[in-house]
Amino acid sequence: MSTTEQRLATPSRGREEVTPSAPAADAATPPSEVPICADPEALRGLPAEQLPGLARTLRRRLVEICSLSGGHLGPNLGVVELTIALHREFRSPAEPIVFDTGHQAYVHKMLTGRADLAGLRTAGGIAGYPDRGESAHDLVENSHASGSIAWAHGLDRAHRLAGADGAAVAVIGDGALTGGVGLEALNLLAADRGSRAVVVLNDNTRSYAPTVGGIAEHLGALRAGEVRAGEDMFTALGLTYVGPVDGHDLGALAQALTAARRAAEDPSSSGVLVHVLTRKGAGFARAESDAVDHWHATGPFPSRRRRRSRRRRRPGPRGSVRPCSPPRAPTSG
């Protein structure tokens, strides 16, 4: 189960074990690629059946771009479906999405008008972390501070004081929840009745290396279905816990984030935590098979995908951003 109903279930047995699935692009018959949307509004208008094709395009471009410039490839391959789902459910920038660590934000950038990540990590190019100077969607500039929960909670409080609607979202993962600032923020959020902050825990079991300690063990027990419904640490704090949910299943993500919004809008709620399970390096075999760090960060590297793309590419305008639309029907003759 991956919805709030788990919280209401009688705590008589453990949840079912949840493991993150393979991306649709890994299927024997992968989906046809779909052009990257120009902005989140266009993404929200895309039919759900085209989302796996969009995810495939995003992964291909991530590999091609990072093969040229280097970058945090593994973490971003792991959040493709999650970032798509977030931008379909929440109306950024009015409902801010704060990424922590910030190097998980490449896909977010690609879906907010920066599809080519032009000049990634070079002087004058796209930054490897959220950058206010690039986009209104990068509201918070952050890297490794574990500060996203505090930021989202603060933005949510400001919105409520101003009488504004909507949620504020923190995406925390890649080891960021191990920081004391993040734990302090969870403690404060759990006591704030009426908060509309949504914490999305991207649980890929790692930072550079596997995470360790009591929280890591508890998350492992949740993944394995060994914790009875309602007895997780987040519910004990006073948060609404949603999960665990397969972070590569677009349908499950949509259902979980809709449930999270509904719970966050409950005035008796003290914030929501969505536990999302992802695979670092997902969809790129060389990263997934790397036992050291799943290509957490890489320099430039040879890419067969880039060579194939060059052979296929036809002359035309630079860039890969096109309006989202259904594929053109074939014509006869």
**Partner residues linked to 170 by β-bridges:** 98, 199
Helices (H), 122-179: 148-161
Rounded to whole angstroms, the Cα distance separating 32 from 299 reads 29
pTM for this model (two decimals): 0.82
Q: Is residue 321 included in any domain, yes or no?
A: no
Q: Is residue 102 included in any domain, yes or no?
A: yes
The percent of residues above 70 in pLDDT, for the chain, comes to: 74
pLDDT digits (tens, 9 = 90+) for 164-222: 999 999 999 866 787 889 999 999 999 999 999 999 999 887 655 566 678 888 988 99
Rounded to whole angstroms, the Cα distance separating 172 from 148 reads 7
Report the candidate in 205, 223, 248 with the shortest Cα–Cα distance to residue 82. 248
pLDDT digits (tens, 9 = 90+) for 279-290: 877 666 665 665
Q: Is residue 82 included in any domain, yes or no?
A: yes
Walk across the sheet containing 240-246 and list its strands. 97-100, 168-173, 195-203, 270-277, 240-246
> Into how many domains does the chain fold?
1
pLDDT digits (tens, 9 = 90+) for 165-180: 999 999 998 667 878 8
- E strand or H helix at 68: helix 51-69
What average pLDDT does the segment 247-257 reach?
95
Which of 140-154, 167-181, 295-309 bottoms out in mean pLDDT, i.e. has the lowest?
295-309
What average pLDDT does the segment 117-135 reach?
90
Q: Is residue 236 included in any domain, yes or no?
A: yes
Model confidence band, residue 141 (pLDDT cutoffs 50, 70, 90): confident
First to last CA, the chain: 49
The boundaries of the domain holding residue 208 are 19-311
> Does position 249 have pLDDT exceeding 90, yes or no?
yes
Output 283 or 329, whichever has higher pLDDT: 283
Output 272 or 29, whichever has higher pLDDT: 272
Q: Is residue 110 included in any domain, yes or no?
A: yes
76 φ/ψ sector (left φ>0, alpha ψ -120 to 50, else beta): alpha
pLDDT for res 328: 36
Residue with structure tokens 């896909």?
A: 107
What average pLDDT does the segment 35-63 reach?
95
Q: Is residue 318 included in any domain, yes or no?
A: no
Residue with structure tokens 């734990």?
A: 183
What average pLDDT does the segment 261-282 reach?
90
pLDDT digits (tens, 9 = 90+) for 80-119: 999 999 999 999 999 999 998 887 899 999 999 999 999 9
Q: Is residue 2 included in any domain, yes or no?
A: no
CATH number at residue 286: 3.40.50.970
pLDDT for res 325: 44
Q: Is residue 111 included in any domain, yes or no?
A: yes
